[in-house]
Amino acid sequence: MAVFHNADGKQILMRMVKAIQENKSYLGEVDGLIGDGDHGMNMNKGFSMFAEQFFDEDFGFSEGLDKLGMILLNQIGGSMGPIYGTIFMDMAEAGEGMDVIGLAELAHMLEAGFDGLCDIVEAREGDKTLVDTLAPAIDALKKALDTGTDFAEALAEMKTAAEAGRDSTKDMVAKFGRSSRLGERSRGVLDAGAVSCCIILCAMADGIQEMLEAYDER
Protein backbone atom coordinates (compact mmCIF):
# COMPACT_ATOMS: atom_id res chain seq x y z
CA MET A 1 0.00 0.00 0.00
CA ALA A 2 1.25 3.51 -0.86
CA VAL A 3 2.79 5.56 1.92
CA PHE A 4 4.78 8.75 2.28
CA HIS A 5 7.65 9.44 4.63
CA ASN A 6 6.66 11.57 7.61
CA ALA A 7 9.98 13.40 7.30
CA ASP A 8 9.04 14.58 3.79
CA GLY A 9 5.78 16.18 4.88
CA LYS A 10 6.81 19.84 4.88
CA GLN A 11 5.45 20.35 1.38
CA ILE A 12 2.01 19.17 2.51
CA LEU A 13 1.91 21.85 5.19
CA MET A 14 3.01 24.50 2.71
CA ARG A 15 0.26 23.39 0.33
CA MET A 16 -2.23 23.95 3.16
CA VAL A 17 -0.78 27.40 3.84
CA LYS A 18 -1.10 28.39 0.19
CA ALA A 19 -4.71 27.22 0.07
CA ILE A 20 -5.69 29.33 3.07
CA GLN A 21 -3.82 32.37 1.73
CA GLU A 22 -5.54 32.06 -1.64
CA ASN A 23 -8.97 31.81 -0.01
CA LYS A 24 -8.57 34.57 2.59
CA SER A 25 -11.07 36.90 0.94
CA TYR A 26 -13.57 34.15 0.18
CA LEU A 27 -13.55 32.94 3.78
CA GLY A 28 -14.11 36.50 4.94
CA GLU A 29 -17.05 36.86 2.59
CA VAL A 30 -18.66 33.62 3.74
CA ASP A 31 -18.14 34.49 7.40
CA GLY A 32 -19.47 38.00 6.88
CA LEU A 33 -22.88 36.72 5.80
CA ILE A 34 -23.82 35.39 9.24
CA GLY A 35 -20.71 35.98 11.37
CA ASP A 36 -18.29 38.79 12.10
CA GLY A 37 -16.35 38.42 8.86
CA ASP A 38 -12.88 37.89 10.35
CA HIS A 39 -12.45 34.16 9.72
CA GLY A 40 -10.38 34.60 6.56
CA MET A 41 -8.20 37.26 8.13
CA ASN A 42 -7.53 35.22 11.26
CA MET A 43 -6.84 31.98 9.42
CA ASN A 44 -4.55 33.72 6.96
CA LYS A 45 -2.72 35.39 9.82
CA GLY A 46 -2.03 32.11 11.60
CA PHE A 47 -1.04 30.09 8.55
CA SER A 48 1.13 32.90 7.21
CA MET A 49 2.89 33.29 10.57
CA PHE A 50 3.67 29.58 10.49
CA ALA A 51 5.08 29.83 6.97
CA GLU A 52 7.20 32.87 7.80
CA GLN A 53 8.63 31.37 10.97
CA PHE A 54 9.42 27.92 9.63
CA PHE A 55 9.87 28.30 5.86
CA ASP A 56 13.64 27.84 6.10
CA GLU A 57 13.47 24.94 8.57
CA ASP A 58 13.24 21.24 7.86
CA PHE A 59 10.35 19.44 9.53
CA GLY A 60 8.12 16.47 8.92
CA PHE A 61 4.36 16.19 8.58
CA SER A 62 3.53 15.54 12.23
CA GLU A 63 6.09 18.05 13.49
CA GLY A 64 4.74 20.69 11.12
CA LEU A 65 1.19 20.08 12.31
CA ASP A 66 2.35 20.62 15.89
CA LYS A 67 4.11 23.88 15.02
CA LEU A 68 1.09 25.14 13.08
CA GLY A 69 -1.26 24.10 15.86
CA MET A 70 0.75 25.96 18.49
CA ILE A 71 0.62 29.17 16.47
CA LEU A 72 -3.12 28.89 15.82
CA LEU A 73 -3.79 28.07 19.46
CA ASN A 74 -1.76 30.91 20.92
CA GLN A 75 -1.53 33.70 18.38
CA ILE A 76 -4.76 34.21 16.45
CA GLY A 77 -8.03 35.59 17.69
CA GLY A 78 -11.51 34.19 17.73
CA SER A 79 -12.72 30.71 18.56
CA MET A 80 -11.16 29.03 15.55
CA GLY A 81 -7.58 29.35 16.76
CA PRO A 82 -8.06 26.97 19.70
CA ILE A 83 -10.26 24.71 17.58
CA TYR A 84 -7.81 24.23 14.73
CA GLY A 85 -4.88 24.34 17.13
CA THR A 86 -6.33 21.41 19.04
CA ILE A 87 -7.07 19.42 15.89
CA PHE A 88 -3.57 19.83 14.48
CA MET A 89 -1.73 19.29 17.76
CA ASP A 90 -3.69 16.12 18.52
CA MET A 91 -3.05 14.90 14.98
CA ALA A 92 0.64 15.58 15.53
CA GLU A 93 0.70 13.68 18.79
CA ALA A 94 -0.96 10.68 17.15
CA GLY A 95 1.57 10.78 14.31
CA GLU A 96 4.62 11.23 16.48
CA GLY A 97 7.06 8.41 15.91
CA MET A 98 5.52 7.32 12.60
CA ASP A 99 8.23 6.89 9.98
CA VAL A 100 5.77 6.39 7.14
CA ILE A 101 2.15 7.46 6.79
CA GLY A 102 -0.39 5.57 4.73
CA LEU A 103 -4.16 5.40 4.70
CA ALA A 104 -4.44 3.78 8.13
CA GLU A 105 -2.04 6.24 9.74
CA LEU A 106 -3.70 9.31 8.22
CA ALA A 107 -7.13 8.11 9.30
CA HIS A 108 -5.79 7.53 12.81
CA MET A 109 -4.23 11.00 12.97
CA LEU A 110 -7.36 12.76 11.72
CA GLU A 111 -9.56 10.79 14.10
CA ALA A 112 -7.30 11.78 16.99
CA GLY A 113 -7.69 15.41 15.96
CA PHE A 114 -11.45 15.00 15.79
CA ASP A 115 -11.56 13.34 19.22
CA GLY A 116 -9.54 16.21 20.65
CA LEU A 117 -11.96 18.68 19.11
CA CYS A 118 -14.95 16.86 20.60
CA ASP A 119 -13.33 17.19 24.02
CA ILE A 120 -13.41 20.98 23.84
CA VAL A 121 -16.60 21.73 21.88
CA GLU A 122 -20.16 20.51 22.15
CA ALA A 123 -20.89 20.73 18.43
CA ARG A 124 -21.63 17.53 16.58
CA GLU A 125 -22.73 16.70 13.04
CA GLY A 126 -25.80 18.68 12.04
CA ASP A 127 -24.93 21.75 14.12
CA LYS A 128 -23.53 23.76 11.18
CA THR A 129 -19.84 23.77 12.11
CA LEU A 130 -16.60 22.39 10.75
CA VAL A 131 -17.57 19.07 12.36
CA ASP A 132 -19.92 18.62 9.41
CA THR A 133 -16.88 18.64 7.11
CA LEU A 134 -14.34 16.81 9.25
CA ALA A 135 -16.48 13.89 10.44
CA PRO A 136 -17.58 12.62 7.00
CA ALA A 137 -14.05 13.07 5.65
CA ILE A 138 -12.72 10.77 8.37
CA ASP A 139 -15.57 8.32 7.79
CA ALA A 140 -14.61 8.17 4.11
CA LEU A 141 -11.02 7.26 4.99
CA LYS A 142 -12.14 4.59 7.45
CA LYS A 143 -14.55 3.12 4.89
CA ALA A 144 -11.77 3.09 2.30
CA LEU A 145 -9.54 1.29 4.78
CA ASP A 146 -12.20 -1.33 5.44
CA THR A 147 -12.78 -1.96 1.73
CA GLY A 148 -9.11 -2.13 0.79
CA THR A 149 -9.20 1.02 -1.35
CA ASP A 150 -5.77 2.31 -2.29
CA PHE A 151 -4.42 5.47 -0.68
CA ALA A 152 -4.78 7.72 -3.73
CA GLU A 153 -8.42 6.79 -4.30
CA ALA A 154 -9.11 7.12 -0.57
CA LEU A 155 -7.76 10.69 -0.67
CA ALA A 156 -10.12 11.50 -3.54
CA GLU A 157 -13.02 10.03 -1.58
CA MET A 158 -12.02 12.06 1.47
CA LYS A 159 -12.15 15.24 -0.61
CA THR A 160 -15.57 14.37 -2.01
CA ALA A 161 -16.90 13.67 1.48
CA ALA A 162 -15.44 16.91 2.84
CA GLU A 163 -17.01 18.91 0.02
CA ALA A 164 -20.40 17.26 0.56
CA GLY A 165 -20.15 17.93 4.29
CA ARG A 166 -19.29 21.56 3.65
CA ASP A 167 -22.23 21.96 1.30
CA SER A 168 -24.62 20.30 3.75
CA THR A 169 -24.17 23.19 6.19
CA LYS A 170 -26.01 25.55 3.84
CA ASP A 171 -29.37 24.04 4.77
CA MET A 172 -28.65 23.86 8.50
CA VAL A 173 -29.52 26.24 11.32
CA ALA A 174 -26.51 27.35 13.34
CA LYS A 175 -26.46 26.17 16.94
CA PHE A 176 -23.08 27.54 18.04
CA GLY A 177 -21.14 30.76 17.67
CA ARG A 178 -22.29 34.23 16.72
CA SER A 179 -24.40 32.94 13.84
CA SER A 180 -26.53 30.91 16.29
CA ARG A 181 -28.16 34.16 17.38
CA LEU A 182 -29.79 34.38 13.96
CA GLY A 183 -31.75 31.17 14.35
CA GLU A 184 -33.59 30.33 11.11
CA ARG A 185 -31.95 33.30 9.39
CA SER A 186 -28.66 31.38 9.46
CA ARG A 187 -30.13 28.86 7.04
CA GLY A 188 -29.15 29.25 3.39
CA VAL A 189 -25.50 30.16 4.01
CA LEU A 190 -22.45 27.92 4.27
CA ASP A 191 -20.66 27.75 7.61
CA ALA A 192 -17.28 29.47 7.37
CA GLY A 193 -15.54 26.90 9.55
CA ALA A 194 -16.89 24.07 7.42
CA VAL A 195 -15.57 25.88 4.35
CA SER A 196 -12.07 26.44 5.77
CA CYS A 197 -11.93 22.84 7.00
CA CYS A 198 -12.76 21.64 3.49
CA ILE A 199 -10.05 23.86 2.01
CA ILE A 200 -7.49 22.48 4.47
CA LEU A 201 -8.45 18.83 4.00
CA CYS A 202 -8.46 19.12 0.20
CA ALA A 203 -5.08 20.84 0.23
CA MET A 204 -3.74 18.16 2.55
CA ALA A 205 -5.04 15.43 0.26
CA ASP A 206 -3.61 17.14 -2.83
CA GLY A 207 -0.24 17.56 -1.14
CA ILE A 208 -0.11 13.90 -0.17
CA GLN A 209 -1.20 12.84 -3.65
CA GLU A 210 1.57 14.91 -5.23
CA MET A 211 4.08 13.26 -2.92
CA LEU A 212 2.85 9.77 -3.77
CA GLU A 213 3.14 10.56 -7.47
CA ALA A 214 6.66 11.92 -6.97
CA TYR A 215 7.63 8.69 -5.22
CA ASP A 216 6.28 6.67 -8.15
CA GLU A 217 8.46 8.65 -10.57
CA ARG A 218 11.66 7.90 -8.70
Contact 191, 132 (CB under 8 A): yes
Domain boundaries along the sequence of the chain: 4-217
Q: Which helix (H) or strand (E) holds 5?
A: strand 4-5
User: Over its length of 218 residues, how does the chain's per-residue pLDDT go in tens digits?
Assistant: 599 999 999 999 999 999 999 999 999 999 988 888 899 999 999 999 999 999 999 999 999 999 999 999 998 877 899 999 999 999 999 999 999 999 999 999 999 999 999 999 998 999 999 999 999 999 999 999 999 999 999 999 999 999 999 999 999 988 877 676 766 777 889 999 999 999 999 999 999 999 999 888 77
Q: Where are the beta strands (DSSP E) in 42-155?
A: 100-101
Residues 106 and 155: their CA atoms lie apart, in Å, by 10
Q: Does domain 4-217 have CATH number 1.25.40.340?
A: yes
On the CB side of 189, how many CA atoms lie within 13 Å of its CA? Answer: 19
User: Which amino acid would we find at residue 191?
Assistant: D
